[in-house]
Amino acid sequence: MDSLSPVGLGTMGIDDPATIETAIDVGYRHLDTARVYGNEATVGEGIARSDADREDLFVATKLWIDDLASDDALDAAAESLDRLGLDRVDLLYVHRPRGAYDPAETLPALDEIRGRGWTAHVGVSNFEVPQVETARDHLDAPIVANQVEYHPLFQPVDALEDARDHDYHLVAYSPLANGRAGEIPEVVAIAEAHDLTPEVVCLAWLAAKEGVVPIPKASSARHLRANLAAADVGLDPADHDRLDGIAREEELFPE
């Protein structure tokens, strides 16, 4: 699978492979992890337990800021594959443009990793638009995704515009505002009007945006199913306008 599902699974904090297995069983195909989450082995075990064909899954992981020197990136990618129990991932990100990150050194290493067949695609995460532009200048491979914080209280519209202009995905992490969806008045009002949960409202709003792929975390089968089904929920244009117009900006995971 080379395309991203409308809703993926964010796995930060998931430490039980049964949760990953359940997610796959209920229909998730896009699984997002990272070295720094400390759960690549958990995700890999859940994949191994499931009945899904590997080719039907889109597995993404990320190189942490300590892994971004050229040789370190190659070693870290190999270690991630070993922990996942996979011979390749579908998407490998630079987790943050910090630490050992040097565009002229790190990004050619990603091209090398891709050339070795260890990843099908490369991406960036937590990059601002000028940093994405610089990354494009140093990569041979196309950028497939920029993973950024995106929820009603923090809306990186400039990042979305760049993604659309340059034909890559914006993968939205913390789409439920780190558990605060039910505290946002506009979200709550729309949820009550449509007999939905605030979480479904947030996900339906994001999934309807061209080029945006939310990756909520969930552990129970009920929440996993509800999050996945949110992509099929249609909100009114006025609802979208109301959420788009929230003036507050509150980045929950700044640099």
Is 93 noted as a catalytic residue in this protein?
no
- Please identify which of the residues 28, 37, 150, 168 carries the catalytic annotation: 37
**CB-based contact 122:169 (threshold 8 Å):** no
In total, the chain counts a number of residues equal to 255
Say whether pLDDT at 221 is over 50. yes
Say whether pLDDT at 107 is over 60. yes
Round to whole Å and give the CA distance between 17 and 19: 5
pLDDT digits (tens, 9 = 90+) for 233-252: 999 999 999 999 998 777 77
Taking CA atoms, 90 is separated from 4, 19, 30, 117, 136, in Å, by: 10, 21, 9, 10, 19
- Cα torsion angle, 181, 185, 187, 189, sign: positive
Predicted confidence at residue 215, as pLDDT, reads 98
> If DSSP codes are grouped into helix, strand and coil, which group holds residue 117?
coil
pLDDT digits (tens, 9 = 90+) for 92-105: 999 999 999 999 99
Fold of the domain spanning 9-183+199-234:
TIM Barrel (3.20.20)
The two tokens of residue 95 are 């987790």
| Sequence ranges of the domains in the chain | 9-183+199-234
